[in-house]
Structure 1
Amino acid sequence: MQSRLRRPFLFAFAALTLSLTLALPSQAQQPESVEIQLLSISGWRGQIEPVAVAGQGNVGGAAVIESYWQADRAGNPNTLALGAGNSFGTSPPISNLFQDEPAILALNRLGLDADTLGNDNFDGGIAYLQRLVTMAQFPFVAANLENVDANLIGVAPYRIFETGGVSIAVIGVTDPEAPSLVFPGNFGSITVTAPAVAANYARDAAAREGAQVFVLLTDLSLDSVEDGVASGALADLADRVTGFDVILGGHSDIQYSGTVNGALVVEARSEGLSYARTSLTVSAAGEVTDAGTEFVVPLATAVTPDAELTALVASYRDRLAEQLSHVVANAGGAIPLRDACGQAEARSCESLAAGVLADAMRLVYGSDFAIVNAGGVRADITCPAQDDPADFCPAASPRPFPITAGQIEAVLPFGNLAATAEVTGAELRAMLENGVSAMPALDGRFPQVSGLCFRYDIARPAGERVLDAVRQAADGACSGAAIDLSAAATYTLTANDFMAAGGDGYARLTHGLLLREPLDVVLTRHLSSAEGIMPVLEGRIVCVSSGGVACPVSVGAPAAVFGSPVRISPPSTGDGGLAE
């Protein structure tokens, strides 16, 4: 996929140049245009090992990308390598369990020139982030982090690079919603200001310092691309800034390159499943006259992986193999994160993996109900059917469906604790309302539940959508007694400590609050006592529409109603997803 951006010279300038050349034949010719190359990754999240992709084999991983980038740099030494934020955080176990040290060491070896900061970078808090910023051999840029200097050393609004005789300003901005997406307090006293205002201000400052080309890095991403038209926060930002040549962003796993408001906007796939190779033609006057992007799928079979990074990754894997490769349980079928409506991150409908986690949270502590935000669950519970070199699973086989300690770490990379509390029916309703408030937009606050089933009207105003709720029966069916959602009723609830502290827009839980065990311990205990577990979709989350806004559509499943749960077994093919 390519997109081109052309800015022709003014005819008057061309004519003047020609006349001067004719009049002064002995004068040196104007310098030729310079080709600048930008290599960029989006939402890499510490994916230092290749990912197994159906039909393509192993894709990405630090050693493979480095081999591609070495070839790219050999083809054009006038190259900058850039990250669009979230290059670490929410990482797979091989990086996460070593506090993301492997990710930073890999990025150093990749020769990253600059990166910006996204919400995932703050998952461990300020001290955690500072250690990684200090370890990095490249700068971090973020222009809209007010009071950042009082919290972090080594973060600047922008950096200017001299490449091929061209002064290139690389400016960064962070998603203003980022503080609500991490544990409260993880941003310290940093305030995230309006990204477009900060970006324009930083661009003007860089221009005064002599910058000629302007590149914006951001973790803001696209929601969709329809008929070539991009929509979402990244496109909105492009509409609101001026004077930028390239805007590199995204962590939504949407691949896009196109011109928005005069800038070339680029988002590559996440986790290194593709990277963007952007070429800029810069005139002698410092103007970008041509720009285009190609997306590269870094296939492991196409190159010899970099030896130094291969050895680095192997050293960390060897240290974890014994700890994470043992099987803690076997399931009777695949337990995918992908929800009943086909959304990979369980942010639109009921999910088997998130439902099993919610069941574990409720049953281990004997609470009435459990709610977990979809953003807190990050992988399938069962090992994949296709062998993946990045996991800690046995060789792939459709049956049995093993669950290893490493897979549970992949499901729960944040180190969250279980939290139990007492809530009134009104508070329970408010939690459900918050969970569906962003629909139909996909959001990490979407609630996956246990012990209850609820209906909501997607067309009603946010805060007024929840219609009713019932308890689950002993067999899981949504046929139990009605739940009183008024202030007169009181229930026990299990959530995670992120939600309990007010994360993702949930109200803080205070009454009878107890912080319990790590969620990976809770899930392991539940699975170990439920050998052969084979969950089914039970209609726990039912969307209706009174008009104007459509509900997400179930994939291969009829609409669920109370008293008539959707009983769908996982596919026997073991492909990690729901049958379509």
Structure 2
Amino acid sequence: LRTAFIESAYAETDALLSASMELLGEDANVMVTSDHGFAPQWLSVNGALVMQQAGVTPGEASGNCRIPDDVDPATVQAKICATGASANIYVNLIDRDVPGAVAEEDYDAVRQQIVDAFTNLTDPDNPDATVVDEVFLKEDINDTLGVNAVHPSRTGDVVVILAPPYQFDAAEPGVVISPSTFFGQHGYMPDLVDLDANINLHGTFLASGPAFLEGTTLADVRAVDVAPTAAFLMGIPGPANASGSILYDALADGESLSELTIISISDYHAQFAPLSGSPDSFDDENAPGVSAQLGGAAYLLPWFDHFRVESQGPSLFLSANDVIGATPPLSAFFDDMPAIEIMNAFGTDVAAIGNHHFDVNYEWFIDLMPEADFPWLAANIVLGDDATPIALPVDGATPAAETGAPWAPTAMLELDGMTVGVIGITTLDTPRVTREGALGPYVMLEPIPVVNRYAEELRAQGADIVVVIAHEGATAGTLSEPTGPIVDIADASVGVDTILGDHSSQQVLSLRENGTLLTQNPARGYSITRTRIVIGTESGEVVYKTADYHLPWNISVEPDEAISTRVAELTTDIEPILGEQVGVAENPILRSDNCGGETGRLCESLIGNVVSDAMRFSYDADFAITNSGGIRADLTCPATDNPDDFCAADLEANAITRGQVLGVLPFGNVAVTVDISGVELKELLEVGVSASPAESGGFQQISGLCITYSTDLEPGSRITNAVRQADDGSCTGDAIDFSESATYTVITNDFSASGGDGYPNFSERMVTLGLLDEVVSGYLAGDTEALVAGDPIEPAIEGRITCEGADCPAPV
């Protein structure tokens, strides 16, 4: 019966394929694939009963992926979710799962109970048979046949794989092993093959049509390779998260094609420590989702190396990042030398210059340039007409004599028979978002004519591929339909194959109408983009381009030993200072604002209130105003311990350390006071809301006053009301006099007071005070009468900044 059933399935499949091929015709390219193979089975394992007998559950669950009936969920330590021969077992972990039954300190012990129960499982009727093939802990599932098979939240804490003829489905209640009602099953180890026993878990791949070679057998085709190959044949970009390869070896013209892989991250800012992200999003309050670590220097390099190995031709790691400036303490404390050191370790081939490279001034950046093992590019930052060139060679880059700058405009790279031209571009915002005079004798040029001019020159010099690495970004829109300055550059580009954007934190994969492929990532290594450009080796012309992005989860990834060691050394050097706790909060104080802006540049924010209050109360000014672009991180320690930060694992919840404060305020800014008139105060406040509803680093966080503004009014005339804050923080104080005769003492930072972010330049009148991070640390430690040392702070959104208008950012 089983034989006849299986033979009939084969016959039915053959008939379906035959009919399909006849309907499609000879000119169609067809791929037939399955995601897995099959194995015969005839016995069912009752995983729920195994869990009960191991003492993990108080009873036998009556269905798959369920807890036992009529029991308190808080007494169930784990549940099993099985399909075929595979089972994911999820521990009911306190503070991760609802309601939670297992404390963190008991997590490994409970997992070991489960591992032991399944590892020692035997079949009473067949005591010599292997029932369980493999038992994995979640973090041990790494590379499975060339694919990372672990998911941060969906993969079980323990994974069990049975051996044929055993499987989990349709088990008999109350019996550990019983006869099965199925003929065949999947879910076994994917490399399991025993043809004599009719076992073959390899998937099927067949291809036919004019694009494919005839009579060719390919080894190691993966399911993830099918979609990229299909997209290539259709001439469309591949899936946004495609992880496989184009099957050139299967193609009739495969030998005449050459592929370039470009690996990129955006706005890295020396984020050596891992970040945190949620792999799933749930609306149900009883399923809050799981936070997992991703990125971080030591974990990013293995991801880069994975894509280098995956490439089917030469590969490049290109950076348009702010490599230096606005960096966390691990780099900033050492004059940002570690930032360049890590970029060298990443194998950076070429880097564009970011605006933060001039945070101190141009001389500081020029002194750091030779420390890089790669050339720096900025085609649109050139020496002013009346300035004297500063000589500094940049190895491996096009000579920069025509720009008068010590950095090159372009680089030409010879890679395995293809020539790649790279153009560097820096945001036009640079003079506005840096200190006045930071660029020295250098001036900015409009990027579009610069890009097109150098693209034409590089083509004339023999470039097969032209790439722009631009420290300029998208500011709105969607993944495939972004908007913003980088989109304008891409749409106006001529002769450019791909542009790697930066500067803003947005994911972009967009093939523009002119054929330019535009990509960009969220900041600080939160995602990696892989761009692939294919050229015909005979014509030398680009025939295809695609890009996909990937979240670099840390689970199952072995961190790079050299980078881990270096980060640990840096941490050890400054831990005694930056690990000191200076305060604590009742609740987390994040960088994000009240309107959901992750970078806090849309609305009033808790962290902005704390920083501005610290400034005002520390120096008894009338008002405090600070730019949101100067606030760069969360203030409170993260809930998940991270050995690379400055929050010890045994600190109380929502602790604040000096290292956290320095991460929030990494620029080394100084608090300054300025005596100004009411007219000047209004001018200053108008700048802060001029870009709304768009995000802006110049958006202000304020203390001592409350303002109302309207986006329906023209920038420069948007403030409609302003009052002082009452002693209780409410917006019920006296109206503020914006007349010339009124005078106020305002405390801000030296960047804003010197004209940064478009604010009025008060540098000749400002009085320099303490370092801003030390001001905030002292305030949190109780150095002012506003806070009592040791008492938790509990900032609130008080309505300090209210927007009125049709397109105001909406509170969340």
Measured against aligned partners, the alpha-carbon deviations of 1:457-476 in whole angstroms (never above 9, x if no partner) come to 11100111011210000011
Aligned partner (choices 55, 70, 73) of residue 305 of structure 2: 70
Which residue type is aligned with residue 316 of structure 2? L
Aligned partner (choices 315, 328, 332) of residue 96 of structure 1: 332
Which residue type is aligned with residue 325 of structure 1? G
Aligned mates of 1:183, 1:194 — CA distance in 2: 20
Aligned mates of 1:377, 1:448 — CA distance in 2: 10
Aligned mates of 1:524, 1:31 — CA distance in 2: 62
CA contact (8 A) 1:126 1:152 kept: no
Residues 1:289 and 1:522: Cα distance change in structure 2 (over 3 Å): same
1:102 to partner: Cα distance = 1.2
CA contact (8 A) 2:337 2:368 kept: yes
Measured against aligned partners, the alpha-carbon deviations of 1:397-434 in whole angstroms (never above 9, x if no partner) come to 7x542110100000100000001010100100001111
Which residue type is aligned with residue 329 of structure 1? G
Q: Which residue of 1 aligns with 2:793?
A: 533
Residues 1:463 and 1:30: Cα distance change in structure 2 (over 3 Å): closer
Q: Secondary structure at the match of 1:138?
A: coil
CA contact (8 A) 1:151 1:189 kept: no
Q: Which residue of 2 aligns with 1:207?
A: 459
CA contact (8 A) 1:6 1:289 kept: no
Q: Which residue of 2 aligns with 1:243?
A: 495
1:128 to partner: Cα distance = 2.1
**Count of aligned pairs between the two proteins:** 531
CA contact (8 A) 1:327 1:402 kept: yes
Over aligned residues, Cα RMSD in angstroms? 2.1
1:339 to partner: Cα distance = 1.1
1:508 to partner: Cα distance = 1.2
CA contact (8 A) 2:705 2:724 kept: yes
Q: Which residue of 1 aligns with 2:811?
A: 554
Please, which moves more after superposition, 422-431 or 378-387?
378-387
CA contact (8 A) 1:370 1:451 kept: yes
Residues 1:7 and 1:99: Cα distance change in structure 2 (over 3 Å): farther
Q: Which residue of 1 aligns with 2:99?
A: none
Residues 1:544 and 1:244: Cα distance change in structure 2 (over 3 Å): same
Q: Secondary structure at the match of 1:38?
A: strand
Q: Does 1:124 align with 2:124?
A: no
Q: Does 1:435 align with 2:688?
A: yes
Q: For residues 327-366 of structure 1, what are the structure 2 equivalents within 5 Å?
A: 327-366=581-620
Q: For residues 464-483 of structure 1, what are the structure 2 equivalents within 5 Å?
A: 464-483=717-736
Which residue type is aligned with residue 305 of structure 2? Q
Which residue type is aligned with residue 444 of structure 1? G
Aligned mates of 1:386, 1:227 — CA distance in 2: 30
Please, which moves more after superposition, 355-364 or 332-341?
332-341
Aligned mates of 1:227, 1:118 — CA distance in 2: 23
Q: Secondary structure at the match of 1:272?
A: coil
Please, which moves more after superposition, 466-475 or 58-67?
58-67
Q: Which residue of 2 aligns with 1:572?
A: none
Q: For residues 227-242 of structure 1, what are the structure 2 equivalents within 5 Å?
A: 228-242=480-494
Aligned mates of 2:541, 2:809 — CA distance in 1: 46
1:301 to partner: Cα distance = 2.0
1:552 to partner: Cα distance = 0.9
Measured against aligned partners, the alpha-carbon deviations of 1:301-349 in whole angstroms (never above 9, x if no partner) come to 2321221111111111111211111101122332222111111122111
Q: Which residue of 2 aligns with 1:306?
A: 560
Q: Which residue of 2 aligns with 1:223?
A: 475
1:362 to partner: Cα distance = 0.9
Q: Which residue of 2 aligns with 1:543?
A: 803
Please, which moves more after superposition, 405-414 or 99-108?
99-108
Q: Secondary structure at the match of 1:271?
A: coil
Aligned mates of 2:391, 2:599 — CA distance in 1: 31
CA contact (8 A) 2:493 2:516 kept: no
Identical counterparts, % of pairs: 36
Measured against aligned partners, the alpha-carbon deviations of 1:55-87 in whole angstroms (never above 9, x if no partner) come to 352211222121122232223351111012313
CA contact (8 A) 1:339 1:352 kept: yes
Q: Which residue of 2 aligns with 1:508?
A: 761
Aligned mates of 1:227, 1:532 — CA distance in 2: 41
Q: Secondary structure at the match of 2:792?
A: coil
Q: Which residue of 2 aligns with 1:490?
A: 743
Q: Secondary structure at the match of 1:427?
A: helix
Aligned mates of 2:391, 2:521 — CA distance in 1: 28
Q: For residues 95-244 of structure 1, what are the structure 2 equivalents within 5 Å?
A: 95-147=331-383, 150-151=389-390, 153=392, 154=394, 155-226=407-478, 228-244=480-496
Residues 1:421 and 1:7: Cα distance change in structure 2 (over 3 Å): same
Aligned partner (choices 27, 32, 50) of residue 274 of structure 2: 50
TM-score by length of 2: 0.63
Q: Does 1:34 align with 2:258?
A: yes
Aligned partner (choices 556, 562, 569) of residue 315 of structure 1: 569
CA contact (8 A) 2:354 2:503 kept: no
Measured against aligned partners, the alpha-carbon deviations of 1:147-200 in whole angstroms (never above 9, x if no partner) come to 188357331111011112011001111111111111112211111110111111
Q: Secondary structure at the match of 1:69?
A: helix
Bigger CA radius of gyration: 2
Measured against aligned partners, the alpha-carbon deviations of 1:18-76 in whole angstroms (never above 9, x if no partner) come to xxxxxxxxxxx997111111111111111122223243522112221211222322233
1:536 to partner: Cα distance = 1.1
Q: Structure 1 regions of 5+ residues with no counterpart?
A: 9-28, 556-580
Residues 1:510 and 1:34: Cα distance change in structure 2 (over 3 Å): closer
1:352 to partner: Cα distance = 1.0
Q: Secondary structure at the match of 2:439?
A: coil
Q: Which residue of 1 aligns with 2:240?
A: none
Q: Structure 2 regions of 5+ residues with no counterpart?
A: 1-226, 236-252, 279-289, 395-406
Residues 1:400 and 1:44: Cα distance change in structure 2 (over 3 Å): closer
Aligned mates of 2:453, 2:601 — CA distance in 1: 35
Aligned partner (choices 625, 639, 647) of residue 371 of structure 1: 625
1:115 to partner: Cα distance = 0.7
1:142 to partner: Cα distance = 1.1
Aligned mates of 2:377, 2:690 — CA distance in 1: 32
Residues 1:104 and 1:227: Cα distance change in structure 2 (over 3 Å): closer
Please, which moves more after superposition, 325-334 or 144-153?
144-153
